[in-house]
Chains A and B, each alone.
Chain A
Amino acid sequence: MKIIDQHTKKIMEDCKVRARDAGLCFDNESLEYIVTNQDLIELSPKGMIPTLYDYWVNDVETLKGKGQYKLYPHNPYETVINSRPAISYYNDNNPDWLNIMIFYHVIGHIDFFQNNILFEHTWSDDFVGKALADKRHIAQLRSQHGRWVDYIIEFSRSIDNLTGYFTELSIRNFPQNMEPTDKLRYYFDEFLPKETLANIGKIYSEIERYNILLESNDMVAESMFFSDIKSKHPEFESKFQKYKDIRKERSIDIMDFIRDNSPFLKRDENQWMKAVINIVRDTSLYFAPQIRTKTINEGWASYWHDELFRKDDRIKGHESEYSVINAKVTSISRVGYNPYAIGLRLVQYIESLADAGKISREYQLILNSERRDEFNKISGKGKEALFNLRSQFSDFMLINTYVDQDFVDLHKLFVVGERLNQQRGTVEYYVKSKKAEDYKRMLIDNMYHPPFITIDTEKSNDKKLFLKHHFEGKQLYKPYINDTLLGIEYLWFGNIAQGEVILETTDIIKRKGSEDSVSFEYKPIHYIISNKKVSKRYL
């Protein structure tokens, strides 16, 4: 791994100037490295972050990658990571023109990372630097605690897909003064209705009293309001304190709930484990937007490498070589899903819609298909729409909003089904549906969507941890349930369990009726783990 030579760096700096002229927006600094394919095999299990902490699962992946490479050598063109400065990796021996094309693609990604709102929490610090500090911390912990560090990493990673990424994002953007204080919340939501058994009218009049105080003097409104209450309800303060104690620290997700409340982690000798959980959780949050923007990010970068390189005079003499490589990257597969291809087509489609003024209320109101076809108000707002898309959209929003029948027909897209042909002993691929709604559903079904699992804080205590899976029509993958629970049990109780961890979820049972009809039964179930033994109980 070495830094790119000055000649190539200069070429890339030229690209930056042209990209900025076209409207892309990104930090001035970037780092480019020349890597071998072997380097890439070692980097990829670490999400391309060279400084990520060491962990044996990554070594397994690396060994597997090396084995695979032995039989099936391959040669990736580039990879970029969302760091400050942004780092990208290149194979050596690329001719200049190819580096220009690749770097335009890279700039597309950097622009996306640095402007898309889903990445907001990664904007203020450099993950590569942070990861290096974490890696050293873990290495130091390992010298003290040996393999137990790896167990804590493992168990933390077993729940790292349940991080409250969107909650984090919304807290970040939530106006601080919109939330009432804990005390007010307790008074109105708990104390009045539950302790004093006040009726609605009484509650409203109290709210009114508070609002009047707030209007007249918002700085001291709360203290004035409560000084009155103290005399009326002398028990209020102590009850509020008790409520605060019982009510666990507000947590964003399972990981930080366990970190802050686990009786096992609370012990002095186990404090170090919390640092490990934090490292794993932060890493997961860092990758969270990337995994949710694969299609749109690749589409955006492919759009720009094409747009910028075709207009670049340095393409001269390499047009046909470029088109071959471009086609390999961005052609839609006859069978299979290529995020570069679909992403690019969607971006181009949206640009054409916006250019024709079709992203407008006026167009949406037209129901007549002929008039829809004829509609064309040259707006010249295509690029503007694209930049808006790049700042605001995730894969889900992109696909859910813009995959429609026109798009599906335009590119002759369809859903491919896979079925066994018993007679021929083969798997057949067939055109299953050409409907946009099916195609969209297929894309959405294949998207990253971890289950939504929360802690029931009311039912959890030092002897019990209660997890609730909010059922969304899909059951949990059963072979992994026991092992995942095993890790959670360890994080809550340690090696000697003094209670149980309960997971409430829903099983789907398939029933075959008469004449090939199939029905599904949804059965709520508890998975209970105690002392590493899992039992099940239907509710």
Chain B
Amino acid sequence: MDAIGFQNNPKPTLQVMLQTIEDLISRDDQREKDGFPRRIRLGRIVKPNKNNQKVVVVPTTTEPKFYHDDSVTSDEQETGGTGDGQEGEVIGEAPAESQQGEGEGQGAGQGGDGEGHDVVADAFDLGRILTQKFQLPNLKVKGKKRSFTKYKYDLTDRNRRTGQLLDKKATLRKIIQTNILLGNLDEDGLIDPEKMVLNPQDEIYRILSAEKDFETQAVVFFLRDYSGSMQGKPTESVTSQHLLIYSWLMYQYNENVETRFILHDQTAKEVKDFHTYHNSSVAGGTNVFPAFELVNKIIEEESLYIDNNIYVFYGTDGDDWDSDGKRALEETEKILVHANRMGITVARNTWTTGTTTVERYFEQSGLLKNKPDLIRIDAFSANDADEARLIEGIKKLVEQKA
């Protein structure tokens, strides 16, 4: 090793060569073109905390090799231990769904309401990556409503030495800085501009650049079933998928999209933030319509339809005590008057065979056929849904043409 090199250069090439998540993802795109499978996955490391759950987005990858696999012949994990205890004695337990650590990033935490604003900050990060990696089709505004993403050109960016307009204030500041460093300014505060050295590097110009101009024009409703039957995998799938959608919206619309969260079992309630929405534990029985009813109530009362695009994402395991879904369908029709898109996710339970109640009554209502541009359903078995499947689901829910 060239030790001398390290001494002189305390940050060796390591730092310089490190690729960013973006580099890695564009490498992954290239892999596909070269005919090799993609390798980068995005994982989330979660640190659960009562008051704020921290999430960090990290890339993960695997290096496939030939390895031995014990899982077929041995049923359970084994490790070592020490201390007192008879054979067969239980010496500890842990929650079955681990809440911390890295992973493919699924799973809603248990626990009650809490302040959770870190989720928003990191969701922005996740969305940035999702938008680039998965190229989710952008939600577009239909009809005569204005676009809420537009560009304007402005002299906002700054550049040294060249540009369209000299930024006098910034330049002066830079000149003074340089001269302080050179020792040309007296400490007693008497400034003699003649003594100052003018370095062309200190000239700061403004240059014309494209700026995104955002206006809040969308309201997105997140609805989910948190009834008893949602325990476990279905909840995990729905909350994970909604976190992905939420993250992507936060990114694409620069956190300016307004979001509302509704939970329902037999009755529906609005909760104040995504954290609570994501983490609330399961409750009682299942009636779908109150949630839809609440959406309509909010839209009417706040006249949201006048200025806003409205999107509704609903997640369920497909169970509804109201087996013909009469009222749910009525409310859905009302929603569709105003909504640009309603996306329903059915994360089927393991014991479900065939289609679920919700899927069935939506199918029979003809809504899916008649208004394919306004309403979509994506159904899958919650047990088999990995992150890739969830993202596939989002594509189905938000794509432009059926």
Q: Chain A interface (Cβ within 8 Å of chain B)?
A: 1-3, 31, 33, 39, 42-43, 50-51, 54, 56-57, 59-60, 62-64, 66-68, 70-72, 83, 87, 126, 128-129, 131-132, 147, 150-151, 154, 157-162, 332-337, 342, 411-421, 424-434, 439, 442-443, 445-446, 449-451, 453, 469, 472-481, 483-484, 486-487, 495, 508, 510, 520, 532
Contacts A50-B1, A417-B78: A520 and B66 contacting too (C-beta < 8 A)? no
Chain A residues with Cβ under 8 A from B17's Cβ?
54, 59
Decide if B370 is an interface residue (CB 8 Å cutoff): no
List the 9 closest pairs (A to B, CB-CB), nearest first: A67-B58, A480-B64, A483-B64, A128-B1, A416-B81, A477-B69, A474-B68, A67-B56, A71-B47
B262-303 interface mask toward A, CB cutoff 8 Å, 1 = contact, 0 = none?
A: 000000000000000000000000000000000000000000
Residues A412 and B80 in contact, CB atoms below 8 Å apart: no
Q: Once the chains are docked, how many angstroms separate the CA of A69 from the CA of B36?
A: 32
* Residues B76 and A419 in contact, CB atoms below 8 Å apart: yes
Interface size on B, residues (CB 8 A): 70
Judge if B183 is at the interface, Cβ distance under 8 Å: no
Contacts of A68 on B, CB cut-off 8 Å? 45, 56, 58, 102
Question: Quick check: A495 and B35 within 8 Å, CB to CB?
Answer: yes
**B19 in the interface, Cβ–Cβ < 8 Å?**
yes
Write 14 A-B pairs (CB below 8 A) sorted by A numbering. A56-B24, A60-B59, A63-B24, A63-B58, A68-B58, A132-B1, A161-B66, A335-B91, A336-B81, A414-B82, A416-B80, A417-B76, A439-B80, A442-B78
When chains A and B are docked, how far (Å) is the Cα of A478 from the Cα of B3?
44
Interchain CB contact under 8 A, B27 and A147: yes
- Chain B 85-107, CB-CB to A under 8 Å as 1, else 0, gives 11111111111100000100000
Whole-angstrom CA separation of A451 from B56 in the bound complex: 35
**Once the chains are docked, how many angstroms separate the CA of A60 from the CA of B67?**
21
- Which residues of the partner chain B approach A335 to less than 8 Å between Cβ atoms? 79-81, 91-92
Whether, in the assembled complex, B14 has its beta carbon less than 8 Å from a beta carbon of chain A, the answer is: yes
- Decide: B3 and A31 in contact? CB cutoff 8 A: yes
Across the interface, A484 reaches (CB within 8 A) one of B54, B64, B74, namely B64
Given contacts A59-B23, A477-B68, A481-B66, 18 further A-B contacts (CB under 8 A): A63-B20, A64-B60, A71-B47, A161-B66, A334-B83, A414-B87, A424-B93, A430-B89, A431-B86, A477-B66, A479-B64, A486-B37, A495-B35, A508-B72, A508-B73, A510-B72, A510-B73, A520-B73
- Measured CB to CB, the closest approach of chain A to B243, in angstroms, equals 17
Which listed residue (B24, B30, B82) contacts A147, Cβ 8 A? B30
Is the CB–CB distance between A476 and B67 below 8 Å? yes
**In the complex, are the beta carbons of A442 and B85 less than 8 A apart?**
no
What's the Cα separation between A477 and B73 when bound, in Å? 12
Which residues of B, 1-27, contact A by the 8 Å Cβ criterion? 1-3, 6-7, 10-15, 17-21, 23-24, 27
Of chain A, the residue at the smallest CB distance from B58 is A67
Report if A333-B82 is in contact (Cβ < 8 Å); known contacts: A57-B63, A132-B2, A161-B65.
yes
Instruction: Determine the residue in chain B with the shortest Cβ distance to A33.
Output: B6
CB-based contact A431/B87 at 8 Å: yes
**Contact residues of B between 36 and 76, Cβ < 8 Å to A:** 36-37, 40, 43, 45-47, 54, 56-70, 72-74, 76
Assuming the contacts A50-B12, A64-B59, asked whether A430 and B91 have C-beta atoms less than 8 A apart, the reply is yes
Q: Are B6 and A1 in contact (CB under 8 A)?
A: yes
Instruction: From B10, B36, B68, B86, give the contact of A2 (CB < 8 A).
Output: B10
Given A63-B58, A449-B68: A151 and B86 interface contact (C-beta under 8 Å)? no
**B-side contacts of A424, CB under 8 Å:** 93
List, in ascending order, chain B residues with CB within 8 A of A475's CB.
68-69, 72
Taking CB atoms, residues of chain B closer than 8 Å to A473 are: 73
Q: Which of B120-143 contact A (CB under 8 A)?
A: none
Asked, given contacts A1-B10, A31-B3, A83-B1, whether A162 binds B76 with beta carbons under 8 Å apart, the answer is no
* Chain A contacts for B194, CB-based, 8 A: none
A332 near B82: Cβ-Cβ < 8 Å: yes
Contacts of B78 in A (CB 8 A): 415-418, 432, 442, 445-446
Instruction: Please state if B87 and A432 are interface contacts (CB–CB under 8 Å).
Output: yes
Q: A50-B1, A59-B18 are in contact. Are A413 and B69 (CB under 8 A)?
A: no
- Return A142 CB to nearest CB of chain B, in Å: 11
Alpha-carbon gap, A335 to B89, bound state (A): 13
The interface residues of chain A lying within 8 Å CB-to-CB of B45 are 64, 67-68, 71
Chain A residues near B73 (CB-CB < 8 A): 473-474, 508, 510, 520
B77 within 8 A of A: yes
Give Cα A415–Cα B40 distance, bound, in whole angstroms: 36
Determine whether the beta carbon of B96 is less than 8 Å from that of A60.
no
For residue A341, which residue of chain B has the nearest CB? B82
A342 and chain B: residue at smallest CB distance = B80
Verify B69–A474 contact, CB threshold 8 A: yes
Q: Find out whether the CB atom of A60 lies under 8 angstroms from the CB atom of B40.
A: yes
CB-CB under 8 A from A429, the residues of chain B are 81, 90-94
B67 touches A477 (CB 8 A): yes
Greatest chain B CB density within 10 A among A51, A469, A478 is at A51
Which residue of B has the minimal Cβ distance to A479? Answer: B64
Assess the A430–B66 pair: CB atoms within 8 A.
no
Q: Across the interface, which residues of A come within 8 angstroms of B47, CB to CB?
A: 71-72
Complex Cα–Cα for A476 and B43 (A) = 26
Tell whether B84 is near chain A: CB-to-CB under 8 Å.
Answer: yes
Interfacial chain B residues near A64, Cβ < 8 Å: 43, 45, 58-60, 102
- Taking CB atoms, residues of chain B closer than 8 Å to A70 are 54, 56
Residues in A with CB closer than 8 Å to B19 are 56, 59
Q: A63-B21, A83-B1, A413-B82 are in contact. Are A428 and B93 (CB under 8 A)?
A: yes
**Which residues from A are CB-within-8-Å of B91?**
334-335, 416, 429-431
Distance in angstroms between the alpha carbons of A60 and B84 in the assembled complex: 42
- In the complex formed, the residue of A with least CB distance to B80 is A337
